[in-house]
Amino acid sequence: MVSIIRLDDAETRKWAWSLIDEGRRKIAIELLGADRALVELPAALTVFVAELASLYQTSFASWSLRTVEPSGLVVIAVGQTKSGRRVSQVDWRHTVSPVAVLRNPIWLDELLADSKYVSLRQELVSGERIVRLRSWDSAGFVSALLAACDETDRVSAKAVVQAAVQESDSSHVSNILAQERDATISAMKISGVVDSLANLQNVPVDSGDPTPFLGRVESAGSGGRERGVPLIRQHEDSIIGLDARNVLDWVGRETEHAAAMVFSNRDGRQLTVINANRLGIEQAVGADLVYYSPSYRAYVLVQYKMMSAGQGSRIDPSNWRFRPDKQFRDQLVRMRNVESSQRQGDDCESAHDSYRLGQSLTYFKFCRHDTGLDAKTQLMKGSYVSTEFVDVLLASTQGPRGGQVVDGGILRDRGLDNAAFISLVRTSLIGSSGATSDELQRVVAASLAGDRSVVFAMPHQDSTS
């Protein structure tokens, strides 16, 4: 994600003095509270622009100014903007580090020549302080920027970009781990097998390690024993039920990035959890929870989505939104297919254990983008909504520019919180009916094929389901 910040004349003089005359490698910038949401993201790469005329009043004039238009905005620096601190009722001070100043500033219009940047150019021309590129446009913009730099500037700017990418990779892994961890703990709370919750703390975050969450729990040695009862055990065929073993055997043939554990309560209840991803955690685009109750032959599929803050207060739920992209629309199709397949194969039994409140069995859990991986064992705050409700929501709501958007305020008002969702799944009042081992395998296979990390959980037949 790339943001562009427009510096005024006073800031341009300050930056020239600090970065050129004094040779500093970091600098501070003050932003309004309403603006900070546009840059306060993990590893926010920021491009700083200024009016060309203001450069001649600074030390830039002694450098070899690039041949650009007589007037207009030029790129003078690239940096990584860190989280800020409040310095007044309206202002926040952010540190920009590392930062690379361009010895030969680049005319911004060169980088925004593509027609897809029309609205962004209009915002800058109209005097907007900060604009943020869409995630799918950021990579192309950065490539164009580096290509336009001379050899000296390219080296320093590329170092800043690489630092941001490395931190972004670490942040991405943290988010996937947080989703996998949340899915694992949700399954434990649904099943009531919670004696070992405290053992899921302090799982190492290493962006270069492809191991999923459960594999890191094993490597951290967080299993424990009390009175001879293993709270966490690596999987053993003798203690895993047939349905779970079928899924585990299939997953083992499909990917090497997998781990499985049996969690146990002191009262004898047990829960098998399988955690896998196809290409390694750093390549996973998100996490899915598949929870299966053998007593009711019911499963639910939950897909995690992270919302981002827009301009305005980060406290206001309506300011947190999820903007669908092609990848999300493809995933919606998959979720609908799961729903359709289950309804066609429904056994239509009239027994009480086949009763459900509705036909929905696929859900999304929308969480704030800054939730991260908490050291505590509490679940991430978020809202669960069915795929059917997401379809309705997208058809009836629009963002400020007319695009489809999932509004966090609506999710808070209409979605299920953690406690409500766990209660409904625990009693199988929501979920499929008459699920088979083959169907469970197909659902897990579809998740892995979509480059998602999967947490499959199933209590043992004689446990509370």
pLDDT band at 147 (very low <50, low <70, confident <90, very high): very high
Here the tokens at position 223 are 């299993």
Closest to 131 (Cα-Cα) out of 43, 75, 50, 47 = 47
Here the tokens at position 108 are 């911004």
Residue 373 has pLDDT above 60, yes or no: no
More confident call, 375 vs 447: 447
Residue 69 has pLDDT above 60, yes or no: no
pLDDT at residue 364, rounded to an integer: 94
pLDDT at residue 169, rounded to an integer: 55
Residue 46 has pLDDT above 80, yes or no: yes
HEC string for the chain: CEEEEECCHHHHHHHHHHHHHCCCCCEEEEEEHHHHCCCCCCCEEEEEEEEHHHHCCCHHHHCCCCCCCCCCEEEEEEEEECCCEECCCCEEEEEEEEEEEEEEEEEHHHHCCCHHHHHHHHHHHCCCCEEECCHHHHHHHHHHHHHHCCHHHHHHHHHHHHHHHHHHHHHHHHHHHHHHHHHHHHHHHHHCCCCCHHHHCCCCCCCCCCCCHHHHHHHCCCCCEECCEECEEECCHHHCCHHHHHHHHHHHHHCCCEEEEEEECCCCCEEEEEEECCCCHHHCCCEEEEEEECCCCEEEEEEEEEEEECCCCCCCHHHEEECCCHHHHHHHHHHHHHHHHHHHCCCCCCCHHHCCCCCCCEEEEEEECCCCCCCCCCCCCEEEEEHHHHHHHHHHCECCCCCECEEHHHHHHHCECHHHHHHHHHCCCCCCCCCCHHHHHHHHHHHHHCCCEEEEEEECCCCCC
Mean pLDDT of 9-20: 85
Closest to 314 (Cα-Cα) out of 376, 382, 366, 369 = 369
pLDDT at residue 302, rounded to an integer: 93
Closest to 73 (Cα-Cα) out of 143, 120, 32 = 120
Residue 155 has pLDDT above 90, yes or no: yes
Mean pLDDT of 233-256: 58
Q: How far apart are CA 58 and CA 105, in angstroms?
A: 13
182-202 pLDDT, tens digit per residue, is: 999 999 999 998 887 777 766
